[in-house]
Amino acid sequence: EAQVTQNPRYLITVTGKKLTVTCSQNMNHEYMSWYRQDPGLGLRQIYYSMNVEVTDKGDVPEGYKVSRKEKRNFPLILESPSPNQTSLYFCASRFAVRGPQHFGDGTRLSIL
C-alpha cells in the first residue's frame, strides 16, 4: 500500500531535549516536505526536499533541521526543542513538482 509513515504519532518532551521525527515513503517520490499546523494559521512549510541531498528552507525553518540521505526518508530534527514548537506536524511527498500530495498521519508534539 502506498503510504507516508511518520513516527512517533505523539510525543511529550521537555525543552532542550533533542528529538527526531521520522518520515518514510514507499512511492519512490522525489519531493518531500515537512509542515506544521497550528490553530488559525493553517499548514506552514518548514523544509522541503527535491531529491537526495537537496533540501531547502520553507516558510518557518527556524529551530529545525532535516536531512535527505536516501530517497525514501526525510527526518525532521529538533536540536533544542522549545515550547513554541508545540504543534501538529505533517510529512508529505509527491512524485512531480505539481503532483498530488500524499500526507503522513501527523505527529502531535508537546514541548514542556
Partner 1 sequence: KNEVEQSPQNLTAQEGEFITINCSYSVGISALHWLQQHPGGGIVSLFMLSSGKKKHGRLIATINIQEKHSSLHITASHPRDSAVYICAPFNTDKLIFGTGTRLQVFP
What CA–CA distances, in Å, run from 43 to 1, 38, 39, 65, 67? 26, 7, 9, 18, 21
Establish if 64 lies at the interface with partner 1 (CB under 8 A): no
- For residues 93, 86, 6 and 66, what is the CA-based torsion angle, rounded to 10 degrees? 60
Nearer to partner 1, 58 or 63 (CB): 58
Q: Which stretch binds partner 1 (CB under 8 A): 22-30, 36-44, 66-74, 76-84?
A: 36-44
Closest CA to 74 of 82, 66, 63: 66
Helices (H) and strands (E) in the chain — how many of each? 0, 11
Confirm if 63 and 78 have CB atoms less than 8 A apart: yes
Establish if 97 lies at the interface with partner 1 (CB under 8 A): yes
Establish if 108 lies at the interface with partner 1 (CB under 8 A): yes
Establish if 63 lies at the interface with partner 1 (CB under 8 A): no
Nearer to partner 1, 48 or 74 (CB): 48
Smallest distance from partner 1 to CB 43, Å: 4
Establish if 40 lies at the interface with partner 1 (CB under 8 A): yes
CA 57/CA 97 separation, integer angstroms: 16
Chain positions contacting partner 1, by CB under 8 A: 33, 35, 40-45, 48, 58, 88, 90, 92, 97-103, 105-106, 108
